[in-house]
Chain A
Amino acid sequence: MREHAHGGAQPPEDLLGQETIKELVREAYRAVVGTTTGVAERLYDPEQLARLPRGAVEQALGVGNPVRAAGLQPGEVVLDLGCGGGIDTILAAHAVAPGGRSIGLDMLPEMLEVAARHAAEAGVANVEWMLGEMEAIPLPEASVDVVLSNGVINLSPRKSRAFAEIYRVLRPGGRMVVADIVVDEDLPPEILTSAAAWAG
């Protein structure tokens, strides 16, 4: 809960509807045109960057390096929530080969098209692309070994639901590795009432 500018702790959902938040996120990310490598160069190892097509590097909008932290093993099935341009999905596909596969899930079909093109350029074949939302993952129960997400959970207006879905699709013993933004101190109210803050 966050202290609202006008007083009283209220969940963001009460002030900005869930669908409104989702639409803000969709619009913002649909408009993304990757033109910088700054985010990727800050977060990824040179060895990882060398395995990626330039487009995937330029469209990186994560906030960490969950693939490096996940300790992926050959044969594992990985789900990348909110895959965007596909950078983590592609890196995960490399890490779980041979025998494993990497699934990129995104709510924007245009992002999935771009990600699939990047994967083809990277020469990875053990990838699948799936249209859907993290609050209703279109996969069966206990079907993946590892769920990754990178700067995505914060964009959900229903974070508990997203975590419950991650839990549902993981096999017993499976793991979740999530990179995301946390804030410890209150920011000025004018910033907290922005769309970016409501999404986070």
Chain B
Amino acid sequence: MAERVFASKVQKVGFVDIQRGEELPFGVDECEQYPLFTPELIALMRRLIPPERQATVARSVIFSARKP
């Protein structure tokens, strides 16, 4: 999910003070530790994603928001 989509969905249900906190790079090596990323998918990612992008294919982000 793109960050703007995430923020938009949160805002639409009524949350306020939407803030982005800590952020970490999420690469293919990190994906490999999660169950939905099968060995076949990881192999595909290593083959299709340029090496220079493999360490930053995504980001893990902490979002916070408040119910008014």
Contacts and interface: CB of A to CB of B under 8 A. Distances in A.
Contacts of B13: 160, 163-164, 166-167
A170 B67 contact: yes
Interface string A156-182: 000110011011001111111111111
B-side interface size class: 35 or more
A42 B24 CA distance: 10
Contacts of B6: 153, 180, 182
Nearest to B20: A182
A188 B49 contact: yes
A139 B65 CA distance: 20
SS class, residues of chain B in contact with chain A: mixed
Given A69-B21, A178-B62, A188-B49, A39 B41 contact: no
A25 B15 CA distance: 27
Range of interface residues on chain A? Answer: 35 or more
A147 to B, nearest CB: 9
A163 B59 CA distance: 20
Interface of A: 1, 24-25, 28-29, 31-32, 36, 38-39, 42-43, 61, 63-66, 68-70, 151, 153-155, 159-160, 163-164, 166-167, 170-185, 187-188, 190-191, 194-196, 199-200
Interface of B: 1-3, 5-6, 9-10, 12-15, 21-22, 24, 26, 30-31, 33-38, 41, 44-45, 48-49, 53, 57-68
